[in-house]
Structure 1
């Protein structure tokens, strides 16, 4: 049975990613290009979103893997993952990411000349940040591909033994309101003991904390779908409790990092509050989505297909649009709205009138190779949500 709430959550989180990357243009954190005025006041909402946006994406990806393996053999699944992850990554690195690097270089006076002076002659020389070859925001794809291929034997074993001792134990554990918090233990150990020695680089090679952390979350997603009835019953029944946990967790976490200098005690406390906070909000989102979003709709049919091309395209459009306003005297709100509209609008135009309608373009952006239909024709076969 299809979980429409997972489709909605996927669309929601990737949509939120666009707002987050627009925010990175303004917040005083490192990013590819920056506005001429930085706004410290938006750090708190940015920090709030940053806590759980990537963890829930890897969880949802693990859940999707459960469904994919239901319809495919391990070989078929691995082949499909390579087509839908590696091919868009290559296309992205060749065509989508280079404009971002070019804008960054000319904004920082590191290159002079037109884009076609830069691409392809200069765009593939050296590895970013020293060089120009990069996957930038598409780093999610090689990590997901690695986890998908490496964990196939584990997933096949779990699917073959749904009544095994481990699955039986997990079912009993998560049937209790607080049982899901036991999943925090590996996350806490990695956050407290591994993260200080391996900063997240998104370079894959040597990015040991990110690999360990994100692969664990990916595995959690598959595992929770293996015991899905127990999981969904628990999160829907206790969603308000998890909401209180999230509010308390983020408040304490924010108070700690704003009030105390770093020390060994503060580090271990911060790590605990961080994983408690992010896990609580993940449970909140799953609980409320399962309650209110688990139904088909015409909009979901369209958005669920569009979300992957939007993810591939969006940051390039944001950076190009941002370059033309970065030194203007506009205030925060006009610039923010301009970037949001430009990013969503530009992504939609390219998707709707290019990627979606041109059969040969679809697999290059992770879509199934099928005849593309107009929006009005395609949704006629989809039941209207109640």
Structure 2
């Protein structure tokens, strides 16, 4: 059966992504452009979101892949992935992301002139950060594409063999009181042993920590769907316990960072707190979503289609607005409100008036060819682009 809660989660998490990137304008962490006043206290809610927002997206993407294979063979699935991920990536790198690079060059005093003095003449010279070619926030798309292509043979085997010993073993493990926490073992090994040597780059080729971590979560998402009702019953029944574990995990992680300086021992302890924290929040979120959000609706249908174009557009819109705001002597709430409203509003105008109505733009933004999503949607299908 269709999981409407996964559709809702996908929409909600990407909505939070817009708030997160607006927050990046104001916190001391490195970003493309920064406000003239930075707010240290804002890092706490940002840290909270940062722990689980990307992991849950890859888990949801793996779950979506399970549904995508219901009516496709392996080759059709890979072809669909290429069409809905590679085409928007190329278009985004050529048209959407250059807005961000231009704004950063102007902000840093590295370029003077209008946007069309920069694009296309200079936008495709060299690779970022030295040059201007980049996928910036769209890094999620090539990772998801590569993960899908690599794991397709395994996914097809698991789909064709629902009684396989591995699936039966997973089903038995999940049903146990702490069974879902056994999934932490590979995540902990990656966090503790790989992360120190491979800092995050999002360049795909040399980003071994993110690559190994996110492909594992992507696979977990698919695997959890193979056991079907067992997983959903467990997270619903134990959602409150997972919530408490998440609160404990986040408190321990933050407390450790505040009290002790970094060391080899502290690193291994912190890695345990981190994976325990974000996995607990993921399980709690799935549990509460399954309880309260597993219902269809016209609003969900609209948002579920709009979320992919919003994702592609949003950071460029935020940074373009920020370029005009960063040096103004306005307070946090005034600037943040303009950025949030402007980003959502700008993305909605482009989506509603152009993207969803023009066939070529539907293709470029990874949408299906039909202009309207019909309700009720076919059971067993869920959008898999996250």
Match of 1:49 in 2: 49
1:197 aligns with 2:197: yes
**Judging changes above 3 Å, is the alpha-carbon distance between structure 1 residues 125 and 270 closer, same or farther for their aligned structure 2 residues?**
same
| 1:78–1:148 Cα contact (<8 Å) kept | yes
Question: What pairs with 1:159-308 in structure 2 (closer than 5 Å)?
Answer: 159-308=159-308
CA distances 1:221-246 after superposition (whole Å, capped 9, x unpaired)? 00000012110000000000000000
The gaps in structure 2 that reach 5 residues or longer are 379-386
Question: What pairs with 1:325-336 in structure 2 (closer than 5 Å)?
Answer: 325-336=325-336
| 1:298–1:379 Cα contact (<8 Å) kept | no
TM-score (norm 1): 0.96
| Corresponding residue SS for 1:196 | coil
Runs of 4+ with >4 A deviation: 378-383
| 1:11–1:303 Cα contact (<8 Å) kept | yes
> Quick one: distance in 1 between partners of 2:62 and 2:377?
26
| 1:27–1:43 Cα contact (<8 Å) kept | yes
Quote the offset at 1:339 in angstroms.
0.3
| Corresponding residue SS for 1:45 | helix
Quote the offset at 1:177 in angstroms.
2.5
> Quick one: distance in 2 between partners of 1:361 and 1:133?
22
CA RMSD of aligned residues (A): 1.2
The gaps in structure 1 that reach 5 residues or longer are none
Match of 2:143 in 1: 143
| 2:232–2:287 Cα contact (<8 Å) kept | yes
Quote the offset at 1:381 in angstroms.
6.2
Match of 1:73 in 2: 73
**Judging changes above 3 Å, is the alpha-carbon distance between structure 1 residues 381 and 270 closer, same or farther for their aligned structure 2 residues?**
closer
CA distances 1:6-63 after superposition (whole Å, capped 9, x unpaired)? 0000000000000000000001100000000000001110000000000000000000
Match of 2:87 in 1: 87
Quote the offset at 1:379 in angstroms.
6.9
CA distances 1:196-248 after superposition (whole Å, capped 9, x unpaired)? 00001000011111110000000000000001211000000000000000000
Quote the offset at 1:112 in angstroms.
1.3
> Quick one: distance in 2 between partners of 1:276 and 1:215?
18
Higher mean C-alpha deviation, range 154-163 or range 282-291: 154-163
**Judging changes above 3 Å, is the alpha-carbon distance between structure 1 residues 363 and 265 closer, same or farther for their aligned structure 2 residues?**
same
> Quick one: distance in 2 between partners of 1:300 and 1:161?
33
| Corresponding residue SS for 1:57 | helix
> Quick one: distance in 1 between partners of 2:42 and 2:153?
43
Quote the offset at 1:340 in angstroms.
0.2
**Judging changes above 3 Å, is the alpha-carbon distance between structure 1 residues 69 and 381 closer, same or farther for their aligned structure 2 residues?**
closer
TM-score (norm 2): 0.96
| 1:246–1:277 Cα contact (<8 Å) kept | yes
Quote the offset at 1:160 in angstroms.
1.8
Quote the offset at 1:113 in angstroms.
1.4
Match of 1:348 in 2: 348
| Corresponding residue SS for 1:329 | coil
Match of 1:34 in 2: 34
Aligned length: 378
Match of 2:111 in 1: 111
| 1:25–1:31 Cα contact (<8 Å) kept | yes
**Judging changes above 3 Å, is the alpha-carbon distance between structure 1 residues 368 and 284 closer, same or farther for their aligned structure 2 residues?**
same
| 2:73–2:156 Cα contact (<8 Å) kept | no
Match of 1:131 in 2: 131
Higher mean C-alpha deviation, range 256-265 or range 215-224: 256-265
Quote the offset at 1:164 in angstroms.
1.6
